[in-house]
A and B are shown apart, each in its own frame.
Chain A
Amino acid sequence: MSAISKRGSLAFLILATSASAVLAQATASPMIPPSWAQGRVEGSTSNLAPHPPGMSALPGAEIPLSKIKLPKGFEIALWAEGMPNAREMVIGPKGTVFASTRFVGNVYAVVEKDGKREVKIIAKGLNKPNGVVIKNGSLYVAELSRIIRYDDIENHLDNPPAPVVVFDKLPKDEAHGWKFMKLGPDGKLYFNIGSPGNIVMPPYTHAQIARVDPEKGILETVARGVRNSVGMDFHPVSKELWFTNNGRDWIDDSLPNDTLHRVSRKDMNFGFPFCHQGDLLDPEFGQGRSCAEFDPPAAKLGPHVAALGMRFYTGKMFPAEYGNNIFIAEHGSWNRSKKSGYNITRVTLDKNTKVKKLEVFAEGWLDGEKFWGRPADVQVMKDGSMLVSDDVAGAIYRISYKK
Chain B
Amino acid sequence: MTFYRGAIAAALALQFIAVGPAALAADAASGKNKAQTCLACHGEGGRSVNPFVPSLAGQPPLYVYYQLLQFRDERRKNPIMSPVAVGMKDADMRDMAAYFAQEKPAPVSPASNPELVKAGEKIAQVFHCASCHMPDYSGQNHIARLAGQQRDYLALQLRGFKTGSRPDIDGTMASAAQPLSDQDIDSMAGYLSSFE
Q: Do A and B bind each other?
A: yes
Chain A residues with Cβ under 8 A from B178's Cβ? Answer: 30-31, 34
Chain A residues with Cβ under 8 A from B132's Cβ? Answer: 36, 47, 49
Interface residues of A in 28-84 (CB under 8 A from B): 30-31, 33-37, 40, 44-56, 58, 62
**CB closest residue in chain B, given A62:** B25
* Residues A47 and B69 in contact in the complex (CB < 8 Å), given A34-B172, A52-B20: no
Chain A residues with Cβ under 8 A from B169's Cβ? Answer: 53, 55, 103
B152-179 Cβ-contact flags toward A at 8 Å (1 or 0): 0000000000000000011110111011
A88-117 Cβ-contact flags toward B at 8 Å (1 or 0): 000000000000000111000000000000
Task: Give A44 to B175 CA distance when docked, in angstroms.
Answer: 20
**Does the CB pair B175–A47 fall under 8 Å?**
no
* Residues A34 and B24 in contact in the complex (CB < 8 Å), given A47-B132, A47-B135, A370-B19: no
Chain A residues with Cβ under 8 A from B172's Cβ? Answer: 34-36, 50
Is B142 on the interface with A (CB-CB < 8 A)? yes
**CB closest residue in chain B, given A372:** B22
Is A174 on the interface with B (CB-CB < 8 A)? yes
Is B62 on the interface with A (CB-CB < 8 A)? yes
Is A371 on the interface with B (CB-CB < 8 A)? yes
Is B143 on the interface with A (CB-CB < 8 A)? yes
**Does the CB pair B142–A52 fall under 8 Å?**
yes
**CB closest residue in chain A, given B6:** A45
Is A369 on the interface with B (CB-CB < 8 A)? yes
Task: Give A46 to B134 CA distance when docked, in angstroms.
Answer: 9
**Does the CB pair A35–B20 fall under 8 Å?**
no
Is B75 on the interface with A (CB-CB < 8 A)? yes
**Which residue in B20, B65, B135, B171 is a CB contact (below 8 Å) of A371?**
B20
The segment from B10-18, B28-36, B47-55, B112-120 found at the interface with A is: B10-18
Is B21 on the interface with A (CB-CB < 8 A)? yes
* Residues A34 and B22 in contact in the complex (CB < 8 Å), given A45-B135, A49-B140, A50-B172: no
**Does the CB pair B134–A47 fall under 8 Å?**
yes
Chain B residues with Cβ under 8 A from A56's Cβ? Answer: 24, 65, 69, 90
B100-114 Cβ-contact flags toward A at 8 Å (1 or 0): 000000000000000
Chain B residues with Cβ under 8 A from A58's Cβ? Answer: 24
B175 to chain A, nearest CB (A): 4
* Residues A372 and B21 in contact in the complex (CB < 8 Å), given A34-B179, A47-B11, A53-B169: yes
B129 to chain A, nearest CB (A): 10
Chain A residues with Cβ under 8 A from B20's Cβ? Answer: 51-52, 371, 392
Interface residues of A in 121-151 (CB under 8 A from B): 125
A105 to chain B, nearest CB (A): 7
**Does the CB pair B171–A175 fall under 8 Å?**
yes
Task: Give A399 to B177 CA distance when docked, in angstroms.
Answer: 43
**Does the CB pair A37–B128 fall under 8 Å?**
yes
**Does the CB pair A103–B170 fall under 8 Å?**
yes
Total count of chain A residues near the partner, CB < 8 A = 38
Interface residues of A in 372-394 (CB under 8 A from B): 372-373, 392-393
A161-181 Cβ-contact flags toward B at 8 Å (1 or 0): 000000000000011010000
B74, B90, B131, B178, most chain A CB atoms within 10 A: B131
A82 to chain B, nearest CB (A): 11
Is B7 on the interface with A (CB-CB < 8 A)? yes
**Which residue in B11, B73, B176 is a CB contact (below 8 Å) of A34?**
B176
Chain A residues with Cβ under 8 A from B174's Cβ? Answer: 174
Task: Give A51 to B142 CA distance when docked, in angstroms.
Answer: 8
**Does the CB pair A369–B66 fall under 8 Å?**
no
Task: Give A36 to B174 CA distance when docked, in angstroms.
Answer: 12
Is B187 on the interface with A (CB-CB < 8 A)? no
B86 to chain A, nearest CB (A): 16
Is B149 on the interface with A (CB-CB < 8 A)? no
B78 to chain A, nearest CB (A): 17
B139 to chain A, nearest CB (A): 10
Task: Give A175 to B174 CA distance when docked, in angstroms.
Answer: 10
Chain A residues with Cβ under 8 A from B62's Cβ? Answer: 52
A30, A37, A40, most chain B CB atoms within 10 A: A37
Is B141 on the interface with A (CB-CB < 8 A)? yes
A290 to chain B, nearest CB (A): 32
Task: Give A44 to B125 CA distance when docked, in angstroms.
Answer: 10
**Does the CB pair B179–A174 fall under 8 Å?**
no
* Residues A52 and B179 in contact in the complex (CB < 8 Å), given A45-B135, A369-B18, A370-B22: no
**CB closest residue in chain A, given B11:** A47
**Does the CB pair A174–B22 fall under 8 Å?**
no
5 A–B contacts from the bound complex (CB under 8 Å): A30-B178, A36-B128, A49-B143, A369-B18, A372-B21
A-B interface, 10 closest residue pairs, ranked by CB to CB distance from nearest: A174-B171, A52-B142, A372-B22, A34-B175, A49-B132, A52-B20, A45-B7, A52-B141, A30-B178, A51-B20
